[in-house]
Structure 1
Amino acid sequence: MSTRSRAVLLTAVAAVAALSLSACGKGGISGGGGDTNFVTGKLGIDTVPAGKRATAPDLSGKTIDGKALDVADYRGKVVVLNFWGSWCGPCREEAQYFAMVSQQYQGKGVQFVGVNTRDSSTIPAVAFEKEHGVGFPSLYDPTGKLMLRFEKGTLNPQLIPSTLVIDKHGKVAARALEALDDTTLLKMVEPVLAEK
């Protein structure tokens, strides 16, 4: 295979990988193969028993309003991570439910954090949060590098929107790869919040 052919092939593979990561959809399939230790429930929520969970990677950086944020600072709380983009239709559908549930659980041991991705500037992201009444912070991840920090074969975010629930010990407990309403979101959060 010539150098040019290899370059074309590598470019095509990279493009497919980028498209799959940035895909905006209403659902998806779980990543990894073999014994991943997670189970997909009836609502499309993947969960992992407490003793078999992977630790969440470093998720820190600047928020869409320019403030420093480190998800590790919320250790001891359940963290709901929502990966979204202002350009994503299903993200617009679910935003009202995230805004509502985050308000209901304020001060009750749950911290919501958004991860805005694939927006070329923070202007549409800030407008999105204002329009949908989102009051929790969102990390700005225009290139998707925070998404890629999750190990393959774990409960990693794979498309937009994806939602992860991180337990009080900083481990990934649950994942959904589709837009959520308040009922489904609470079915992800409440069991993890009830854990000792």
Structure 2
Amino acid sequence: MPSARVGARPRAPRFAAFPVAAALVLSGCAGGTEIQSNEDQRFISGDGSATVFEAAERLEAPEVSGTTLDGEDVALSDYEGGILVLNVWASWCGPCRAEQPVLDEVHTEYADLGVDFLGVNMKDDDTAASAYVAAQEIPYPSVYDQPGEIPQAFRDTVPPRAIPSTIVIDPDGRIAARVIGPTTYGQLTDLLDPIVVEFGLGDPEQRPRVAEQEAEEARESAEASPDASAEEAEPTGEPTEGADGAADEGTD
């Protein structure tokens, strides 16, 4: 596995503090952005609160690049023109494991709406991280950033040691929203829908629903099961053997 090759080339204006007025905390999310240090000091646990930045107040994301766990070079500029969900995670992080099904589900549903995902694996062992990706069958790439240089480049958006954290970058390369802590399906889709509409990337209401498809498949499977059982129980017309091994014969 190649070593991390992460570079951050920030421009001074991009790291100016966000104006307080630009941040609108979503209703229904955990209040505030309080953080709590973990005992081993490897990460900061957020409360899952989400913040949206109005279009006129969005700042450009820093120019960062790196090498994925698969050894591919990647840069944020590769995703310009579409929406990018940047998710910071580690294989040892329990909340990261809990939110992974949410990320997978949203990734599937928004694939045709101009939304891409990119993980940032930090403070982790590359072997453990690769094993986690394989076991979870994560469908999108992750940059291996052991020292956490990419989160450091976003330090004025999220705490550099906040794991997990999620940053939504709009098609113009500007930071549109953030979540400090594990996100939920409803929270993440609420963040993405207005940006999809804003940039004319499609109608989020028409996207396929993974949960609905799974429910339909389960219903069809359940409906098919009784038929299969009936076929197995249906008489074949062949004589059956009695206890003595002789074929049972019908009576007139």
TM-score (norm 1): 0.77
Cα offsets for 1:65-103 (capped at 9, x unmatched): 111011111101000000001010000000111112112
Larger radius of gyration between Structure 1 and Structure 2: 2
Cα offsets for 1:6-51 (capped at 9, x unmatched): xxxxxxxxxxxxxxxxxxxxxxxxxx68636212122121011101
- Counting only pairs closer than 5 Å after superposition, residues 1-196 of structure 1 correspond to structure 2 as 35=20, 37-42=22-27, 43=29, 44-119=49-124, 121-152=125-156, 155-158=157-160, 159-196=162-199
Gaps of 5+ in 2: 1-16, 30-48, 200-252
Structure 1 ranges of 4+ moved more than 6 A: none
- Contact kept, 8 Å, 1:96 with 1:133, in 2: the verdict is no
TM-score (norm 2): 0.61
Structure 2 Cα separation of the partners of residues 46 and 189 of structure 1: 12
User: AA paired with 1:145?
Assistant: E
The sequence identity of aligned pairs, in percent, is 35
Gaps of 5+ in 1: 1-31
- Contact kept, 8 Å, 1:83 with 1:157, in 2: the verdict is no
Aligned residues: 162
More relative contact order, 1 or 2 (CA 8 Å, 6+ apart) = 1
- Contact kept, 8 Å, 1:164 with 1:176, in 2: the verdict is yes
Question: Counterpart in 1 of 2:10?
Answer: none
- Contact kept, 8 Å, 2:158 with 2:180, in 1: the verdict is no
User: AA paired with 1:40?
Assistant: V
- Contact kept, 8 Å, 2:113 with 2:196, in 1: the verdict is no
Moved more, 169-178 or 102-111: 102-111
